[in-house]
Structure 1
Amino acid sequence: MKPLTLRWIAHLDMDAFYASVELLRYPQLKGEAVVIGGRRRVALDEASGEPVFERLRDYAGRGVITTATYPARAMGVHSGMGLMKAAQLAPDAYLLPLDFDRYRHFSRLFKSAVASIAPVIEDRGIDEIYIDLSEVPGMQASDPADPCAGVRDVAARIKAAVRAATGLSCSIGVTPNKLLSKLCSDLEKPDGLTVLTASDVPARIWPLPVARVNGIGPKANERLHTLGLDTIGQLAAADPAFLQRHFGTRYGQWLHDAAHGRDERPVVTWREPKSLSRETTFERDLHPREDRLQLGQLFTQLCERLADDLQRKGYVGRTVGIKLRYDDFHIVTRSITMPAATRDPQVIRLWAGRCLKTAPLDRRLRLLGVKMEGLIKGDGRAELEADHLGESLPLF
């Protein structure tokens, strides 16, 4: 491994990705408070053919926000918030439906643009990646007035390539490691570029709240607060033995290292997925008996989409599972291992239905999901024999 001072890792995060993709389709909403969530299509005016946008105040249902534009975020709206609650904060915000096929298309475009400049990429999801820039030509160029001039130039080229390929902006943090880069990509959003060295940590990082560190969740943040450790600098000054007493040996040591900006993890260019899943949150709660037909259709669609994902990524799976969230927010999961691996949608639907038979179906549902685990690379030739499909597909 290269010395820390010679290693440059970037974290690239697309700015409000889903919302930004939608604004390319509807540029008239640029600068407006826009929320992405739900499944309703945008209606067209019969006379003019122009889109008629729904306002958040007119929404009624159980959906949640997937993302929002920055003007909407300034009103207190954030991802994961219920749409009905968001309507109280930003009633005049526009509501647009999700279009995952379109988002995946733009995800492929921006990652391809980055790879044309810096091919060592770790994929972290649809809208973010890590990039090892250490060997990229131009990184070592320097200016006496700016020792990081080459780093900034390469990062700026990547940002320009992403915008040229997609029309979208991104924010990049470039530091000696993944932990700091993840943190820095969020410092100057949107359209930000932050370059930071180890010597910059006390001035730039230590004043920030501990919750900004990726890996310190709400529970750990609350516990650190009770110990009087609210900033990263305070955490860095804490005795490692003190942290280990309160958080355990391993996590306590990690907290100390993270606060000092230490992270030796490499950029991993390939990681086998452990599972693939599809799920949907309903616009209104659905009852297994009263809405049996609708639930059955949605269940089949989820299985078909999961099969498409397996096909596209080149996997088959052995274990299929379901996820149910009830109207009281209680979650139940069930899974079953099949005799052979598959990615056939009918087979997935059949065995997922068997899982469903073992779950309580006595109250309304908010969410339904299907998951495939035990993934292996394959073309599905060892799938179950066709006679297994002689059974009727159970509904609810």
Structure 2
Amino acid sequence: MAEPDVVALASELIRIDTTNPGDGTGRELPAAEYVATKLADVGVDAKVLVSAPNRANVVARITGTEPDLDALLVHGHLDVVPAEAADWSVPPFAGEVRDGVLWGRGAVDMKGMDAMMLAVVRAWMREGRRPRRDIVLAFTADEEGSAEHGSGWLVAEHPELFDGCTEGISESGGYTFHVGDRRLYPIAAGERGTAWMRLTATGRAGHGSKVNADNAVGALAGAVHRLHEYRWPIRLTPTVRASVEAIGAALGVEVDLDGDADVDRLLERFGPARELVEPVLRNSSNPTMLNAGYKVNVIPETAVGHVDGRIVPGARDEFEATVAELVGPDVTWEYEHAEIPLSADPASPTFRAMAAALVAEDPGGHVVPMCMSGGTDAKQFSRLGIVGYGFSPLRMPPDLDYGAMFHSVDERVPVDALEFGVRVLDRFLTTVG
């Protein structure tokens, strides 16, 4: 049985501080060594792959019983975002269990899933069981940064470790989303692309008391304001269309997306479930940082702004043309970091196997596809032709918002949610063909 193992594994992983500040100074190596040891304990040969000082990944392959089947990648990241202990009710790296809930940075994002992966494989080895497909486990560094030392490095330097993998699963899907008395389980079958932008305005420096029509701060402020105010048009991708239709069916809301459908008006009838769709209907451009000047009475020569852009599949050309028009001729822009959007088939046999595993544990649940507003390591692995799904199953209670746990103060997950996830993951990985 894997359930008794998962809480101890998750707790011990949380106690290993793998904070990634995003500046290249992360430290996943102790967690990677811990994972490799836990796999070695049950006879699994795991490779610890050091990409930079203190930055490390773990990869292992479990041989399936049907070698003609394609391999499946199961990946989770070991790093976590920073946590200020003074803001927390429980020390963020203590891995404490209180009243049936595991607290700590990474409980949801995503050491809980790492622990489920370990618990399932350790149970297989102890009980002499095997999956049908080869399973490649990857525990990565640097997902909370650029992935330069994690999945990006693995794909560039060790692609042979993923030979035969055609699909993969990882974070942010398969959790309970409560809408009244309905329990939805969204599985990610797509991601918006990343488009982090740097805007630069250059003008004429001068005294703050003088007339200056060539003011870099003013030009930048105008460009940032236009990007903030712009209402991007709806672009219904196949995944989002399937998501809207499935959510409507689960909630008993009639959905007609043909012709001149008012999608925004339709989503009002979804109640809280609109959160699963609303962020991915469109491209987006959210200003996040501004930097200009050094003294209030000095007009600076240069002003710089940063905008977090996200792009739905198939809309990059439109995004770039619109950004160029909105920033105008007095401001230049460039990508500071860009990643591709992803799409996966929400009707594939693998998706159906995930849905079946969830419903077997919660017969009253409704599985729906979704597109993620952000991104995961699946973007890097897609360069090897691996189609990614978000599937980290957890049965969450109505009073604990799964999405709100990401990067938040007091991140936590119920113990029985992890145990549910282990059962679902085990069922899926041993039955999917």
Higher relative contact order (CA 8 A, sep 6+): 2
Bigger helix fraction: 1
- TM-score class normalised by the smaller sequence: under 0.3
TM (norm. structure 1) is: 0.23
TM (norm. structure 2) is: 0.21
Larger Rg: 1
